[in-house]
Amino acid sequence: KTPKVLFDNDRIRVSDLRLSPGESSKVTFPYPTVRWQVDEGLDTTGPIADKQVYFQENDSTCELHNVASDSILRQVWFEIKKEPRRSEEKTKEILSNAVYSTDVGTAKLFENRYCRVWDFCLGIGEGDPSMPHHHVLDYVYIYVAPGRLLGYRHDGTPGLFDSINEDGDVTWNDIPDGAELDPEYAHGGKNGYDHLPMREYLVELK
């Protein structure tokens, strides 16, 4: 079985793989790829933890077999279609020069020369609008469950955005050179629902 392509541009392709019990997938990746587990899964190699991240080099092969009897094995794949725009040294310089924190999620799960991979999960009532994060790299994110995020300006003023998303919604953002010095590319966030967590997987491209 092959994944469903949800988003595709010149730099990245985002796909959603869902294997029902007994189904399998075998894929050779043409590009370097982040594979990201959604919820717990069970493969022939053993249990796969929720949010487990794997990195596949280009031309490498992945085989998955859902051996669970009553649950879907789901992964989101981020295929990185181009070499990094910047050197590691330049990327570090941009990150260090940012006005606000460049921790654009709640936990950084993986980083290499291509990308930074962030889990962004806010429980009910979570999120501190007074602690903005600063976007200085192009990025893409996917909601892996229905969710709502309320955006606050870098100074804590509410009303920047009210983003309501369904499971599988993908958003891409181009970030211009010099954004690290511009507070307009920083914002705070808070879970907008009082009955659901906000679950987002986010990948920054270097």
170-173 vs 12-19, strand pairing mode: unpaired
Mean pLDDT of 103-125: 98
pLDDT of residue 151: 98
Please report the pLDDT score of residue 87 as a whole number: 96
pLDDT band at 130 (very low <50, low <70, confident <90, very high): very high
Q: For residue range 146-179, list pLDDT tens digits in order.
A: 999 999 999 999 999 999 999 999 999 999 999 9
Look at phi and psi of residue 47 and say left if phi exceeds 0, alpha if psi is from -120 to 50, else beta. beta
Q: What is the largest CA-CA distance in the chain?
A: 52
- pLDDT category of residue 132 using cuts at 50, 70 and 90: very high
Write down the number of H helices and E strands in the chain: 1, 18
pTM of full prediction above 0.85: yes
Question: Which candidate, 41, 28, 103, places its Cα nearest to that of 72?
Answer: 41
Range 3-26 average pLDDT:
98
Whole-number mean pLDDT of the chain? 98
- Residues 19, 90 contacting (CB under 8 angstroms): no
Q: What is the mean pLDDT of residues 36-41?
A: 98
DSSP state of 197: -
Q: Per-residue pLDDT tens for 185-203?
A: 999 999 999 999 999 999 9
pLDDT in tens, 39-65: 999 999 999 999 999 999 999 999 999
Confidence tier at 143 by pLDDT (50, 70, 90): very high
Query: In this prediction, what percent of the chain has a pLDDT beyond 70?
Result: 100
